[in-house]
């Protein structure tokens, strides 16, 4: 037997430097469980249609499962000269069961084989990530329930804007990660399509039953076009795009955790188990986990750009460039999964400093809009009310006071319609409770949102 499947065409041996340059085994060896499962299904299908015998299919299957055990136990020997995981398994199968192993590759190519392996890998990864997002959203709803009465300043432009419930803030992230879960679920539909049977690009002359293979491998659909089946990597691009958006959400939340844990904010304290210290400054407690999550976002963005660049100019069908699809895919899966896992563990351990949040919401004229709304309720046009409150804020700044600290007489200097009941409108509780518009921060709305989320999560 030739060392390589194509040796019959070549007069010279492949240079060892070429073998090293073209080898992908150090990357794609993690595909071995899917490669073996796909090969077992393929040989069972070949037996069903009479291309090989049942005995041959049995021998092939037993040999393949034995190789999987070797791989599982770390006993398998790898060699760059065999390039990829497919050739490694086929070569080892020949060693263990003899010439019948040469029948395994009947009716398929490495082109449709690797496409199958990657789809099976990503299908499994997507299911884990979707479940991880369920776990994360449960953590967020738990935090919202625990902090339903905690008032904090809401921000625009990183400037204090209006008071909101901390629970409302947590639920904003719930919505973000719900959209992420939906995107990954949608991506799963297009990933869960079986390419095997397309062979190199044109299909095969053997009477294969692709639907049977798909059933064995739990694929609800098969690829409709053999050329597209081996050259499509849209499902990877779609995953990387969804992963990048999800990492944006992790990064935004991480940025807030970094800010909130600073001495300038003092809204939260990270648990010691999820922080680190300084090698030189004994007093430091650094929010390294949120910082690293924020930093790892760039890796996933890079994975997406790498894959887009890889695919942008490839003619149909398969090209060797596509060997480079796995490093960015594996990196993005691993990075996103690690960020999910650590966040689910870290968030419940955070200490919320409710007094600091309330103090921050009580200063900085966060009730200015409510004063304007009060004036509108007295018949003043909103634009006029806006201007009146602006003058009142300027006066209060001069006096070193908040709006609610001004006297009724001082407030009436800006508008005679102001009465003593204005002070009720300017309390934090009233500002929260009056925001009853759908999706607003009132306690009733937030409780309803938490209840809806719990139903969505099956709780």
Residue 277: C-alpha distances to residues 47, 99, 228, 263 (Å): 62, 61, 52, 15
Burial of 273 (0-12, 13-18, 19+ CB in 10 A): exposed
Backbone angles phi, psi at 117, to 5 degrees: -60, -45
Residue that is written with structure tokens 């021998």 in the block: 59
Q: Do domains 7-106 and 364-456 have the same CATH topology?
A: no
SS3 call for 308? helix
Pairing status of strand 151-156 against strand 159-165:
antiparallel
Taking only the tens of pLDDT, the chain with its 459 residues reads 346 564 555 556 766 777 667 678 888 899 999 999 999 999 999 999 999 999 999 999 999 999 999 999 999 999 888 889 999 999 999 999 999 999 999 999 999 999 999 999 999 999 999 999 999 999 999 999 999 999 999 999 999 999 999 999 999 999 999 999 999 999 999 999 999 999 999 999 999 999 999 999 999 999 999 999 999 999 999 999 999 999 999 999 999 999 999 999 999 999 999 988 777 887 778 999 999 999 999 999 999 999 999 999 999 999 999 999 999 999 999 999 999 999 999 999 999 999 999 999 999 999 999 999 999 999 999 999 999 999 999 999 999 999 999 999 999 999 999 999 999 999 999 999 999 999 999 999 999 999 999 999 997
Backbone angles phi, psi at 163, to 5 degrees: -75, 145
Residue 250: C-alpha distances to residues 183, 335, 338, 345, 423 (Å): 15, 12, 12, 14, 39
Class of domain 7-106: mainly alpha
Best CA proximity match to 269, nearest among 357, 350, 150, 359: 350
Pairing status of strand 193-194 against strand 221-222:
parallel
Best CA proximity match to 289, nearest among 366, 333, 342, 326: 342
Residue 418 to residue 1: CA distance in whole angstroms? 97
Is 278 one of the annotated active-site residues of the chain? yes
SS3 call for 268? strand
Which one is catalytic: 262, 278, 338, 384?
278
Q: Which residues of 167-204 are buried (b: 16+ CB within 10 A; e: fewer)?
A: bbbbbbbbebbbebbebbeebbeebbbbbbbbbbbebb
CA angle 71, 240, 250 (to 5 degrees): 105
Contact 439, 446 (CB under 8 A): no
Contact 116, 196 (CB under 8 A): yes
Class of domain 111-196+224-359: mainly alpha
pLDDT at residue 2, rounded to an integer: 41
Q: Where are the domains of the chain?
A: 7-106, 111-196+224-359, 364-456
pLDDT at residue 17, rounded to an integer: 73
pLDDT at residue 3, rounded to an integer: 60
pLDDT at residue 12, rounded to an integer: 65
Is 338 one of the annotated active-site residues of the chain? no
* CA 376 from centre of chain: 45
Domain covering 364-456: architecture: Orthogonal Bundle (1.10)
Which one is catalytic: 2, 157, 263, 279?
157
Best CA proximity match to 343, nearest among 171, 79, 41, 137: 137
Burial of 348 (0-12, 13-18, 19+ CB in 10 A): exposed
Question: Which tokens sit at 170?
Answer: 């947590």
Question: Which tokens sit at 362?
Answer: 């009580």
Residue 118 to residue 112: CA distance in whole angstroms? 10
* CA 385 from centre of chain: 45
In the chain, DSSP finds a helix count (H) and a strand count (E) of 19, 6
CA angle 83, 89, 95 (to 5 degrees): 110
């Amino acid at each position: 037997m030739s060392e390589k499947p194509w040796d019959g065409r070549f007069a010279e041996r492949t240079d060892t430097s070429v073998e090293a340059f073209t080898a992908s085994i150090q990357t794609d060896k993690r595909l071995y469980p899917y490669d073996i499962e796909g090969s077992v299904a393929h040989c069972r299908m070949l037996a069903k249609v009479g291309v090989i015998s049942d005995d041959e299919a049995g021998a092939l299957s037993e040999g393949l499962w034995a190789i999987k055990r070797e791989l599982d136990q770390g006993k398998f020997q790898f060699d760059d000269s065999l390039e990829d995981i497919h050739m490694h398994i086929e070569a080892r199968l020949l060693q263990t069961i003899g010439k019948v192993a040469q029948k395994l590759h009947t009716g398929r190519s490495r082109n449709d084989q690797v496409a199958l392996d990657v789809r099976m890998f990503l299908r499994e990864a997507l299911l884990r990530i979707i479940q991880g997002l369920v776990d994360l959203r449960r953590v967020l709803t738990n935090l919202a329930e625990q902090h339903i009465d905690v008032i904090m300043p809401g921000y625009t432009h990183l400037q204090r804007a209006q008071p909101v419930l901390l629970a409302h803030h947590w639920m904003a992230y719930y919505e973000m990660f719900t959209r992420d879960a939906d995107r990954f679920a949608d991506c799963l539909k297009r990933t869960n399509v079986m390419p095997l049977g397309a062979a190199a690009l044109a299909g095969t002359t053997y009477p294969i039953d692709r639907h049977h293979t798909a059933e064995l491998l739990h694929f609800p659909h098969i690829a409709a076009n053999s050329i597209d089946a081996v050259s499509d990597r849209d499902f990877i691009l779609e995953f990387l795009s969804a992963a990048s958006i999800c990492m944006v959400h992790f990064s935004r939340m991480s940025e807030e955790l970094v800010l909130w844990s600073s001495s300038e904010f003092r809204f939260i304290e990270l648990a010691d188990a999820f922080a680190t210290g300084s090698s030189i400054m004994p007093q430091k407690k650094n929010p390294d986990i949120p910082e690293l999550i924020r930093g790892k976002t760039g890796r996933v963005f890079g994975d997406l750009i790498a894959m887009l660049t890889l695919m942008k100019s490839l003619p149909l069908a398969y090209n060797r460039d596509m060997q480079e699809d796995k490093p960015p895919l594996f990196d993005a899966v691993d990075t996103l999964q690690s960020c999910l896992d650590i966040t689910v563990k870290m968030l419940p351990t955070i200490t919320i400093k409710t007094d600091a949040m309330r103090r921050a919401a009580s200063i900085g004229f966060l009730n200015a809009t409510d004063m304007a709304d009060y004036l509108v309720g007295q018949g003043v046009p909103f634009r006029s009310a806006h201007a009146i409150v602006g003058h009142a804020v300027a006066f209060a700044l001069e006096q070193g006071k908040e709006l609610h600290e001004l006297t009724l007489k001082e407030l009436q200097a800006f508008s005679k319609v102001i009465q003593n009941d204005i002070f009720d409108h300017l309390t934090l509780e009233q500002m929260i409770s009056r925001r009853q518009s759908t999706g607003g921060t009132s306690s009733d709305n937030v409780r309803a949102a938490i209840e809806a989320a719990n139903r969505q999560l099956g709780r």
